[in-house]
Amino acid sequence: MRVESVPVLIAGAGPVGLAATVFLSRHGIRPLLVEKRPGTSVLPRAPGIQARTMEIFRAAGLEPGIRALEMDDSLAYFEGGILRTRTLAEIADAQVIEAPTLYGETISPVTAMGCGQDRYETVLLAAAREQGAEARFGTRLVGFEQDEDGVLVTLQNAEERYQVRTRYLVGADGSRSDVRAALGLETRGRGAVFNALSIYFRAPELEELMGGRRFILCYTTASTTPVALSRLHGCDPWVAAAIYDPEAGESVADFTPERCVALLREVSGRPDLAVEVVDRVPWEGAQRIAERFGKGRVFLAGDAAHVHPPAGGFGANTGIHDAHNLAWKLAAVLQGWAGPGLLDTYDAERRPLGTAMAEQAMVRFRIRHGRALPGDRLVDDIIVTLGYRYASTAVPGGVETEPLSPSLELNGEPGTRAPHVWLRRGAEPFSTLDLFSDGFVLLTGPGGAAWADAATRVAKELSVPLRAVEVDAAVTAAYGIGDGGCALVRPDAFVAWRAAGPAADPNATLQEIMTKTLSCGEPRYDHSGLASDPVHQ
């Protein structure tokens, strides 16, 4: 059996696996991406791209290509909120049951966007290949074994079975993750919550029926079968999610093409509506979070790590944020400027957040279906998407805190996403967030020359991609630093540490902070039970 060698192998070419491939490639690591399906998605799933996700795409140079896919102005869909009406014909009188805040001009340089993954996956794949990564479709991960030096992965395509030796394996292979199963990791949470069938359909007459009304999601009550409709992706086909109850004897088999057409006519309020059913896809609404987001040299991202109901649209977005967090850390370790202990901070940062996201999805699900519990606390969407916090050794200036705070506080506090402030380069405006993507940045203000000099020395002494950028008083105020102070921002645009003013020995201080942030000299792997059974015999 032939054996290849790659630095990172990613299993699963959905939005998360593709994003991880792009992010690693931009950091100079060329991974191998494998996917058992023959190609990228052909259905407009995961259509809501959050502002934070667009920020990440912007940092990776992907925003123009993805924004070009926008149909008209998709922002109006987000501003339309979550509706409830008897039928779409009565949408003028629809009740607004949620009006989430998803963006803000003073908070982010970008806005949320509607676009199905069938379209934006093509942009991610093209970017990955352009940057030198390889994607192999029609290739299944059969099994793997790992040791202290790497992972030996067995792959199978239509022609042969072969092996790939890799330093790290990333399982982005969905809710039924073979990688997670092979690691023997259990999941926690409420398990299955409901069963649904997504009906993708075309109905041109709905344009006139809607009267220009746009929305994220619209729940209809005319049918005894609960149906929610969406066209957030801005183009055909529409999607209707019909919920059924197996305990009541209902099943996917009940939804014949004829019944789907009848159901869509019923909830539209137009008995003669011309409907073309494009596809029917059953799925399970569930809440499951892996007990760990990795083991040894194998990591989980996206649905492989956390699954939750689609309420809130957190799924693919949260998974892409997983990939963004993990990519720079893998690159740092592979390139030798961080200790392997840095990789432990992936679980420390992303698992508490994934758990909190899953709970917020459940809260939204219960509220929308009239099942709210007394203790339910709905956190505003803008906090869930932009205001989440990290606490780990990679945030040496931070404190232990809940990942979702009650209010949005983007004030430069360590562990939070760096504040957005508009700057100018000649006549062109740009965001402070545009400064952070490839390495660490030390922001200094008036009187911060000593910190800037220290950054130059520490970058050389530790061989770390670290540079100092001098900013004006408006930026230092936004980041909570004064004259002679500084703020250290990670490659993922999260603040790691800040100093309000000067230090007696800035070089020693900054070197200590960088050493802690990057776990230099602190191997922290748990090598227990590394060998994994094959996924398939």
Q: Give the residue numbers marked as catalytic.
A: 219
Nearest to 303 by CA among 287, 294, 315, 313: 315
Under 8 Å between Cβ of 132 and 25 = yes
Tell me the CB-side half-sphere exposure of residue 221, using CA atoms within 13 A: 11
Give the strand order in the sheet containing 82-85. 95-98, 82-85, 217-220, 227-230, 238-244, 187-202, 276-290, 306-307
Nearest to 291 by CA among 183, 210, 397: 183
Tell me the CB-side half-sphere exposure of residue 389, using CA atoms within 13 A: 20
Nearest to 78 by CA among 65, 95, 96: 96
SS3 337: coil
In angstroms, rounded to a whole number, what is the distance separating the alpha carbons of residues 428 and 423? Answer: 8
Q: Where are the alpha helices (DSSP H) in 335-391?
A: 344-368, 381-386
Cβ-proximal residues to 334 (8 Å cutoff; 6+ apart), any chain: 7, 8, 29, 167, 168
Instruction: Output the DSSP codes for 446-513.
Output: TT-HHHHHHHHHHHHHHT--EEEEE--HHHHHHTT--TT-EEEE-TTSBEEEEESS--SSHHHHHHHH
Under 8 Å between Cβ of 38 and 137 = yes
Nearest to 288 by CA among 305, 270, 266, 302: 305
In angstroms, rounded to a whole number, what is the distance separating the alpha carbons of residues 81 and 207? Answer: 18
Structure tokens at 413: 């506090």
